[in-house]
Chains A and B, each alone.
Chain A
Amino acid sequence: MNESLVRELVPAVIGVLVRRGADFAAAEDAVQEALIRALGAWPDDPPRDPKGWLVAVAWHKFLDAARTESSRRGRELAVDVEPPPGPAPATDDSLWLYFLCAHPSLSPGSAVALTLRAVGGLTTRQIAAAHLVPEATMAQRISRAKRRLAGLPLDRPGDLGTVLRVLYLVFNEGYSGDVDLAAEAVRLTRQLAAATDDPEVAGLLALMLLHHARRASRTGPGGRLVPLAEQDRSRWDTGLIAEGVAVLQAALARDRLGEYQAQAAIAALHADAPSTGETDWVQIVEWYDELLGLADSPVVRLNRAVAVGEADGPQAGLAELSKLDPDLPRYLAVHAYLLERAGDLDRAAELYAEASRRAGSVPERDHLTRAAARVRVLIGEL
Chain B
Amino acid sequence: MPTQTGAQAQSLCQSCGVVVPSELMLCESCERLLPLPDRVSYFEFMELPLKLDIDLAALEKTFYRLSRLFHPDFYQNRPNSEQRAALERSATLNKAYTTLKDPTRRAEYLMKLRGFEQSTEKNRVPQDLMVEILELQEQLEEFQSSEGGERERLAQALRAGVCELKERRAELGKRLEDLFPIHDRAGEDRRAEILLEMRETIDRSNYLFRIVENIEKTLESGR
A-B complex is real: no
